[in-house]
Amino acid sequence: MVRMKSVCGSCHSTGFVDDFYIAADKATERVNEWVIESDEIIQPLKDLGLLTPEPFDETIDFVHFNLWHHWGRTAKFGVWMQGPDYSQWHGAYEILHEMAELKEKVAEKLAE
């Protein structure tokens, strides 16, 4: 991190860099909280044996995976590279969209 901050510091003040890292760390932590929440949403299905053991043979597997692996990484990358479109529309929005779909799919499976 020290090396990266020194790269940032070649153009920006120390205060700007420090504030940016604090904000980016907070955004990363928020994305991580959503990922943990998605794991908690799907856990009842695992506990009840309602998911097949095969990976990616059900739609819910893809929704859960995309939420954290694709959109979560996109959001974090967008934050750290100062790309608001990636951190917001192609990141946070998509995470929340997948989260809503995940909740629906879990509720459907539990109702069955």
Query: Which residue's entry shows tokens 């590279």?
Result: 81
pLDDT at 105 over 90: yes
The Cα 45–Cα 97 span in angstroms is 20
The Cα 105–Cα 20 span in angstroms is 37
Q: What is the pLDDT of residue 74?
A: 94
The predicted-structure confidence for 31-83, as pLDDT tens digits, reads as follows 999 999 999 999 999 999 999 999 999 999 999 999 999 999 999 999 999 99
Q: Is the alpha carbon torsion for 13, 24, 66, 95 positive or negative?
A: negative
Tell me what the mean pLDDT of segment 93-108 comes to.
96
pLDDT at 109 over 90: yes
The Cα 95–Cα 80 span in angstroms is 17
Q: What is the pLDDT of residue 5?
A: 87
Q: What is the dihedral of CA 43, 46, 47, 49, to 10 degrees?
A: 160
pLDDT at 2 over 90: no
| Type of residue at 42 | I
pLDDT at 3 over 90: no
